[in-house]
Amino acid sequence: MAEKFAKNMSLYSQDVSPTITSTVLNSEDAKEQLLQECEEIWKEMEECQNKLTLQETEMLPDSDPKLSLLMKRLKALSAEFNQWQKRKPEIMTANPDVLVALGRDQLQKLDYDLEMVLSTIHAKNKKLKQDLLREQKWLEEQQQLIDCLNQTEKEIGNQVVQFSEKRAFQELKSKMMKIKAYKDGILNALGEFLEEHFPLPEESGTAKKKRHLSEEPNVQLITLHEILESLISRLIDTPHDPYITISASFWSPYIELLLRYGIGLRHPEDPNRIRLENFHQ
């Protein structure tokens, strides 16, 4: 709108300026003439005011001169106010040359102000465009980041889907087999150690010693390895009742060995029952 107005003003100045400069007064002469007319009107107003002052000069009463003076001023201002209300605005000068010159001057000032406003608007628009480009660039970067995160989430989701229950079962089975193999290896190593260092009395003693150790010659003694396996199996299978009963096949020195070194524990109420110490707790 400002550009359209400025364009119309330029066309107006191009069309009107040559005729005005040749037929009417310039802006300075018009202002001077207008000031002269204003001074003449002002002089007339002063003369009228002086006449009114001379006519309204009266003696104020002695009772309250300030109140009387204020009342007279109020009446004068009221009368002046009524006159101004009834009066219609009039053009101060009827000279068309003066009016055209003053109008051209006002239009030039208005044109300059509009050009300043237009320049300010252009500067603000330029800054807004820069801000818009910066925000768009930031938005593109954020969108790229979101796309990258979505892609990563999709890949992770595919990996989770591929990790099926069957695969989990196979891995668990493989771990159990490894644990079982490790357990068997430990038991075998324990058995070899016990067979080497704690053999059965029949293998190292005489028949006389064997009869001394067991009153029943037909009883088959079991190895320390077998005793420990029985205790371990009992503890794992029935943890609520881990005790086993000591039978004639248990060699008493092995039992005393287990109890002395804290590997086995007797039942608090039945001395013929023992259990394995809870080393796993």
99-103, 161-165, 202-206: least confidently modelled range = 202-206
User: Are residues 25 and 125 both part of a single domain?
Assistant: yes
Residue type, 116: M
Residue 6 within a domain: yes
Residue 11 within a domain: yes
- Round to whole Å and give the CA distance between 5 and 118: 11
- Round to whole Å and give the CA distance between 32 and 20: 18
Tell me, what's the pLDDT at 209?
A: 47
Supply 141's token pair: 């970067």
Residue 213: how many CB atoms within 10 A of its CB? Answer: 15
Residue 261 within a domain: yes
Residue 152 within a domain: no
User: Are residues 213 and 131 both part of a single domain?
Assistant: no
Do 264 and 258 contact (CB within 8 A), yes or no?
A: yes
Q: How confident is the model at residue 208 (pLDDT cuts 50, 70, 90)?
A: very low
pLDDT of 257 > 70? The answer is yes
Residue with tokens 């029952």: 273
First to last CA, the chain: 90
Q: How confident is the model at residue 142 (pLDDT cuts 50, 70, 90)?
A: very high
Do 27 and 104 contact (CB within 8 A), yes or no?
A: yes
